[in-house]
Amino acid sequence: MSVNRYDRVAISARYDENGYLEDSPVLTRTGVFVYRDGNGQERRELRRADDVFSSESLASYRNKPITKGHPGKVNAGNVRSHQIGTVTTEGRQDGDNVVSDVVIHDPRVIRQDGWKELSVGYSVDLIEEPGEYNGERYDAIQTNIRVNHLAVVSSGRAGNSRLNLDGSDAATLTDDEDDPVMEKVRLDSGIEYDAAPEVAQAYRKAREDAQQASDATEKEKARADAAEKAKKEAEDSAEKLKQDAVKDARARLELEAAAKEHKVEVKEDSTDRALKESVIKSVNGDSDLSQREDAYIDAMFDIVKEQSEKSRNDAAEQRRQATPTQSRQDGAGSKASARDRMISRMKGETVEGDNQ
């Protein structure tokens, strides 16, 4: 797992004739370092000599920018906004320490703000293997140490060791347990950057809140959709019941009409089957239909209805063919007779039926 770390040391340096601050401070060392993760939990990590003094790690100090505070990962796109100095040399081993030359071009952060410590910003890969080193336990091992920048930070706790230019006192690393572990934050756009734990936590909280709000909205929408669906189903069911009731009522009226046509007595408590059986018997004769299935009764009743309807249609057709023809003939004769009598009168002839 690759993460970023920040270690802190004190500054004690000289100013050159141009007012630039120059120093050759200890920047880090081997041993067990104590950090705090994003949740405030203590985490102890070992920096082995092989990793601290590897040629690749020492070379990564050269030409790195010095910044006021930790701005996150520094690169060509943002260095102009943050750089106040430069690490001018590669790191070099000094016992258990790493030393490098630095120059701070804008020392106001030290003179005016009183910030007197350096904090190395670097990336490492973590080997999650706990153990002990010189009697100190550790949770993981740092490897592939690569420097990104060197930050000037505010003073640490009282009692921190400081550098002395004359070398009369040993220069040691300030282990500040309050130094945070910078965390990777990935934006929705896919961009990643290093952020302090409180920033990362606030960002995660904002994303969680947004996700919860989105989930709540989706749930509310699902409930609204379900309610609308239930309402539609209820309306459809009510409409179907209404249609079924109308259909059943119409079928009952047609059944009662058929029963009356066949001289079958209709009672209020007469069932549909009883009426159908009576209609069938009125046409086909008295027979026991009690053991027949409903489907048989329905089919026989339909046949009887069709036969009755056909008989009615045949009788109506016969009446139509006879009655209209006679009317036309009678009407035609009457009209012709009246016309003949009118012509005779116009000629002065005597017409039968006129008064003498």
The whole-number mean pLDDT for each consecutive block of 10 residues of the chain, a chain of 356 residues, reads 55 79 88 78 90 96 92 89 94 93 88 79 90 94 92 53 28 41 54 58 77 88 89 87 85 84 84 87 81 88 84 79 59 64 70 62
Q: Answer yes or no: are the C-beta atoms of 203 and 192 closer than 8 Å.
A: no
Domain edges within the chain: 2-182
What is the value of pTM for the model shown?
0.46
In DSSP notation, 273-291 reads HHHHHHHHHHHH-S---TT
184: tokens are 């990777």
Q: Would you state the pLDDT for residue 128? A: 92
The residues with which 199 forms a beta bridge, in sequence order, are none
Q: Would you state the pLDDT for residue 16? A: 87
Q: Would you state the pLDDT for residue 45? A: 92
Q: Would you state the pLDDT for residue 204? A: 72
Q: Answer yes or no: are the C-beta atoms of 45 and 4 closer than 8 Å.
A: no
| Mode of pairing for the β-strands spanning 14-15 and 21-23 | antiparallel
Q: Would you state the pLDDT for residue 297? A: 87
